[in-house]
Amino acid sequence: MQQVNCSISSQLTDAFPVCIASSAVMGLSFVLGVPGNLSVLRTLVQRLKENNFTIRLMLSLAISDLLNLLPLPMWIWALLHDWIFGSVSCKIISYIEYWCVYCSALCVTLMSVQRYMQVLHPQKWAKLGTRGENGLLCGIWILSGVLASYAPVQRDVGCDQYGFQYCYQHFKNKTEQVATLAFEVLLFVATFFLLVLFYFSLYKGVNESPFFSSNRTTKLVTRIVVAFLTFFILIPIANVLFIIAVLLNNQHMSKTADLSGVMARALAFLNSCVNPFLYTFSLRGQQRSNPVMESS
């Protein structure tokens, strides 16, 4: 196990409250999210025999959220003490975390595309068939793994600016740091744009059709957009602050962005708690209300 000698900085006073708050949020996410996702997983597995793509998509989402939550006790310990689990564990857990976050985001995005196509263009979607749908699910996991491939390369154990031994991103230079942060911001913007675009198009198409009721669709769109924006918006904001701080070589702004990033990542774990319930119960209620909108 890698040993790193770190000395606690006098700046710890500013960081400790953020570490405490982030640990509390992570603890809540773990306590509520793990059993919640396991319960949803059991329900979804029992419904796999329905050969319903929405069920398989939500199952994939629940698995990625569960895998994202399981290492939380290690992150909590590291925030309050030191990272004592070694460099290899740091790289593996970081890769799984990034992989699951990207997979979750792509699952949510594909769900918006799927609902749009099945409701407004059902014949085109039907041409995919079960094999095509399974190909999309596999493609999500593969693409997420590729997008997350930079995580184990950059993540390693070292001394952060507060003197803690921690598992964090190490950059060779400012160019690499700016490029990585900009990449993550662009991914968020693209995901959120597609999410809003397809659900807005769905709502507009349903609202203009005499065969559909838009009430539940409106609620579903609102919940999805608000939840995604609420839990993830701080991450790109912190990244943008980091980029500006790096370009301006502003240490104070860099410190602010760093603490914001810690809290933002903690809040993002809450999304893994609400995701399965949000989509499962919203779509279940939508199906009961509008049988014609059921997934094939």
For residue 288, what is the domain's CATH number? 1.20.1070.10
Q: What span, in angstroms and rounded, lies between the C-alpha atoms of 155 and 146? A: 16
196 in Cβ contact with 229 (< 8 Å): no
Domain membership of residue 5 (yes or no) is: no
Name the β-bridge partners of 159.
165
pLDDT in tens, 39-62: 888 888 888 887 888 888 888 988
The answer to whether residue 106 is domain-embedded is: yes
pLDDT band at 209 (very low <50, low <70, confident <90, very high): low
As a whole number, mean pLDDT of residues 92-109 equals: 92
Contacts of 176 (CB under 8 A, 6+ apart): 154
Q: Which residue has the higher pLDDT, 281 or 42?
A: 42
In a domain, 231, yes or no: yes
Tell me the pLDDT band of 232, cut-offs 50, 70 and 90: confident
Cβ burial of 197 (10 Å; 0-12, 13-18, 19+) is middle
pLDDT tier for residue 214 given thresholds of 50, 70 and 90: very low
Residue 2 lies in a domain: no
For the residues 7-12, what does the mean pLDDT come to?
Answer: 53
Spatial distance between the Cα atoms of 111 and 115, rounded to a whole number of angstroms: 6
Q: Which pLDDT score, from 0 to 100, does residue 97 have?
A: 93
Kindly state whether residue 7 falls inside one of the protein's structural domains. Answer: no
**Which pLDDT score, from 0 to 100, does residue 296 have?**
42
**How does the average pLDDT of the chain come out, rounded?**
81
Mean per-residue pLDDT for 292-296?
Answer: 42
> Quick check: is 22 in a domain?
yes
Q: Is the pLDDT of residue 36 over 60?
A: yes
What range defines the domain where residue 100 resides? Answer: 12-293
Helices (H), the chain: 12-46, 53-69, 72-80, 86-120, 122-126, 129-147, 150-154, 174-207, 215-232, 234-248, 251-289
pTM of the model: 0.85
pLDDT on residue 1: 44
Q: Closest Cα to residue 295, out of 54, 42, 36, 16? A: 54
Question: Given this model, what pLDDT does residue 171 score?
Answer: 86
Cα-trace Rg, the chain: 21
Domain count, the chain: 1
Q: Of 141-155, 224-238, 241-255, which gets the smallest average pLDDT?
A: 224-238
In a domain, 274, yes or no: yes
Cα–Cα distance measured from residue 80 to residue 131, given in angstroms and rounded to the nearest whole number:
47
| First-to-final CA distance of the chain | 51
| Residue 100, in any domain of the structure | yes
Q: Note whether 63 and 41 are within 8 A (CB).
A: yes
